[in-house]
Amino acid sequence: MAMKISQQKFNERLSSNLENDFMRGAVAGAQHRFQTRRSAAVDSLNWEEWRNHGEEIRQHVLENLDYYLYELSINVEARGGHVFFAQTAEEATEYISTIAKQKSAKKIVKAKSMVTEEINLNSHLEQLGCEVIETDLGEYILQLDDHDPPSHIVTPALHKNKDQIREVFEQKIGYTASSQPEELALHARKVLREHYLTADIGITGCNFAVAETGSVCLVTNEGNADLVTALPKTQISVMGMERLVPTFEEMEVLVGMLTRSAVGQKLTSYITVLTGIKEALEVDGPEEFHLVIVDNGRSSILGGEFQSILQCIRCAACINTCPVYRHVGGHTYGSIYSGPIGAVLSPLLGGYDDYKELPYASTLCGACTDVCPVKIPLHQLLHKHREVIVEREGRAPISESLLMQAFGMGTSSQSIYKLGTKVASTVMKPFTKNEKITNGPGPLKNWTAYRDFPSLQKERFRDWFEQHNKGGNPK
Ligand code: SF4
């Protein structure tokens, strides 16, 4: 899976997903559950103080990123690991592919990692002839289902129900029991166990890397990261270059915020911390450890007007609250990063050619900003993107540019404005029915496809006001 998950145009994805009632119901139900649990987990705390602290930690790291990256790399190497800085996705996949070739790897087990999706790692490894097995249950379901793309950054298979999953398991891994989640999970667990034991390499992402000790911290609910890091002899962790904390003290704060914001839990079931290679008296752990630190466009964001997006800890709270995501679902965004975080991040990492519509997939209501645990001003960043798209990139749709030019001309000339307001209701008459514009022309067409526009009044306010001042009898 690469960052871009669809070749369809944004409007095509939007139309088909808006018609998918099952997906929309599943997303609305999941959002409701996540929001309820999150509120219960944070409302009893002094959450605003936590948020201030979380923001402070993330901003401090970004302001001193060079220092902490250096400290992290020194400490990883001091514990027998290797560090590779990859400027591009290609450099990262090439480095990891070289390790796979050196080890003659046949099978690789992976814990959930968005950055490995972003750099399209699986397909590179599969081209080498490696069997790559996702071990996060959600990712595993999607992989079995012919690489169905994720629709959510924390619960990637959110758009599927248990009957669909049962069908996939039946077709792909010989499942014969019911669609009870417990039975499905048990079967997946049995199949995956075998893979852990026979894998040559384990690959993980990284929720937070601790600079002080060179440790990689992974947060899961299934414990799969424990097995991925403990059993294969060679271990590779891949991290976005900003996913750092100075010490375990900051890690503890951010993990608590991540789990509360993501799924409303004080802690997840498993927090795996991997520090270097297996030592003499240890019974498990890798004999070889590589940390791949991926830039892939992040350093261009650093120091610019969008820097605060690098504070993100990928909790998905913004996705779980977004009213637009609720209606269109994750696949409409066309990126592995969906929802408000995706609408800001995808154009920055993948460019406006592929993602220029995403900043408009928002009502700018600010609900995302209100729930973000590290106080990223998401709706302001979305607005900033729109400004860049229109004013600096000149990419506004032609109809919108023409409309704005006409509006500018009309409002800067008193006589044109007067004439315009006089004829407006007559011009719009053919589109008006029962005092509503239900099928507007030009740029109004898309707007009125989903809601009615109030009809334009025959009597202008200025005429009414004039009449009123003369002591007439305005209607
Ligand atoms: S932007 Fe904020 S709310 Fe959204 S995923 Fe990142 S940290 Fe969570």
Which residue's CA is minimally distant from atom 3 of ligand 1?
372
Q: Which two tokens stand for residue 218?
A: 């992974």
Letter string b/e over residues 349-377, b meaning 16 or more CB atoms within 10 A of that residue's CB: bbebebbbbbbebbeeeebbbebbbbbbb
User: Could you tell me if the CB of 257 is within 6 A of ligand 1?
Assistant: no
Mean pLDDT over residues 125-129, rounded?
96
State the pLDDT confidence band at 355, using cuts at 50, 70 and 90.
very high
Residue 407 CB-density burial (10 A; 0-12 exposed, 13-18 middle, 19+ buried): exposed
Alpha carbon 19 to chain centroid distance? Answer: 22
pLDDT for the residue 135 = 97
CA distance 474 to 430: 27
- Helix orientation angle between 398-412 and 414-427, rounded to the nearest 10 degrees: 120
At 75, list the tokens: 């400490």
Query: Binning pLDDT at 50, 70 and 90, where does residue 453 land?
Result: confident
Ligand 1 atom with the smallest distance to the CA of 368 is 3
Task: Kindly give the distance from the C-alpha atom of residue 104 to the centroid of ligand 1, in angstroms, as a whole number.
Answer: 39
Of all protein residues, whose CA lies closest to atom 8 belonging to ligand 1?
315
As a whole number of angstroms, the distance between CA 117 and CA 335 comes to 10
Residue 317 CA to ligand 1 centre (angstroms): 6
Whether residue 312 has its Cβ less than 6 Å from ligand 1? yes
Q: Copy the structure tokens of residue 121.
A: 């790692």
* Ligand 1 nearest-atom number relative to CA 309: 1
What's the pLDDT score for residue 1? 66
| Residue 473, pLDDT score | 61
Q: At what angle do helices 378-387 and 339-350 cross, to 10 degrees?
A: 40
pLDDT tens readout for residues 78-113: 999 999 999 999 999 999 999 999 999 999 999 999
Question: Does residue 216 have its Cβ closer than 6 Å to ligand 1?
Answer: no
Distance CA 187, CA 191 (A): 6
Is 38 a pocket residue for ligand 1 (Cβ < 6 Å)? no
Distance 86 CA to ligand 1 centre (A): 24
Quick check: CB of 318 below 6 Å from ligand 1? yes
**Residue given tokens 């504070």 in the structure block:** 311
Longest alpha-carbon distance in the chain: 98
The CB of 374 under 6 Å from ligand 1? The reply is yes
Q: Which atom of ligand 1 is nearest to the CA of 313?
A: 7
Residue of the CA atom closest to atom 2 of ligand 1: 372
Q: Is residue 372 within 6 Å of ligand 1 at its C-beta?
A: yes
Positive or negative: CA dihedral 278, 284, 290, 296: negative
How far apart, in whole angstroms, are the C-alpha atoms of residue 306 and residue 344? 9
Q: 27 Cβ partners below 8 Å, 6+ apart?
A: 151, 158, 159, 325, 326, 329, 330
- Answer whether 376 contacts ligand 1 (Cβ < 6 A): yes
Regarding the beta carbon of 54 and ligand 1, being less than 6 Å apart is answered: no
List the domains of the chain with CATH numbers. Answer: 10-294 (3.40.50.10420), 398-467 (no CATH)
pLDDT digits (tens, 9 = 90+) for 192-241: 999 999 999 999 999 999 999 999 999 998 999 999 999 999 999 999 99
Note the pLDDT tens digit of each residue in 133-175: 999 999 999 999 999 999 999 999 999 999 999 999 999 999 9
309 lines ligand 1 (CB under 6 A): no
The span from the CA of 415 to the CA of 445, in Å, is 28
Q: Which of 168, 132, 169, 139 is nearest to 153 (CA)?
A: 139
21-42 and 10-18 helices cross at what angle (nearest 10)? 90
Q: Probe ligand 1: pick from 260, 324, 341, max atoms within 8 Å of CB? A: 341
Ligand 1 centroid vs 25 CA: distance in angstroms? 23
Is the CB of 254 within 6 Å of ligand 1?
Answer: no
Q: Residue 263: CB within 6 Å of ligand 1?
A: no
**Distance set, CA 395 to CA 250, 307, 363 (Å):** 41, 23, 20
Which own/partner pairs from 376-380 qualify as long-range (CB within 8 Å, at least 24 positions apart)? 376/308, 376/309, 376/311, 376/312, 377/308, 378/318, 378/340, 378/341, 378/344, 379/340
Identify which of 244, 382, 229 has the alpha carbon closest to the alpha carbon of residue 305.
382
For residue 319, the ligand 1 atom closest to its alpha carbon is 4
318 falls in which pLDDT band (50, 70, 90)? very high
Q: What is the Å distance from ligand 1's center to 261 Cα?
A: 9
pLDDT at 420: 87
* Best-predicted range by mean pLDDT (59-73, 273-287, 386-400, 424-438): 59-73
Interacting residues of 441 by C-beta distance below 8 A, sequence separation 6+: 431
User: 35 CA distance to ligand 1 centroid (A)?
Assistant: 14
Q: If you measure from the C-alpha of residue 227 to the centroid of ligand 1, how many angstroms do you get, rounded to a whole number?
A: 28
DSSP 273: E
One-letter amino acid at 209 equals A
Residue 110 structure tokens: 């992976």
* Mutational pocket test of ligand 1: of 306, 324, 368, 376, the residue with most ligand atoms within 8 Å of the beta carbon: 376
How far is ligand 1, taken at its centre, from the CA of residue 172, in Å? 34
Q: Which residue puts its alpha carbon closest to atom 6 of ligand 1? A: 312
Mean of pLDDT values over 244-259: 97
Question: By alpha-carbon position, which residue is closest to atom 7 of ligand 1?
Answer: 312
What's the angle, vertex CA 122, arms to CA 336 and CA 277, rounded to 5?
Answer: 110
Average pLDDT of the chain, as a whole number: 94
61-71 burial, b for 16+ CB within 10 Å, e for fewer?
bbeebeebbeb
Instruction: Judge contact between 331 and 159, C-beta under 8 A.
Output: yes
Q: Which atom of ligand 1 is nearest to the CA of 339?
A: 4
**CA 307–ligand 1 middle distance (angstroms):** 14
For residue 292, list its beta bridge partners: 84, 238
**What φ, ψ does residue 269 adopt, rounded to 5°?**
-65, -35
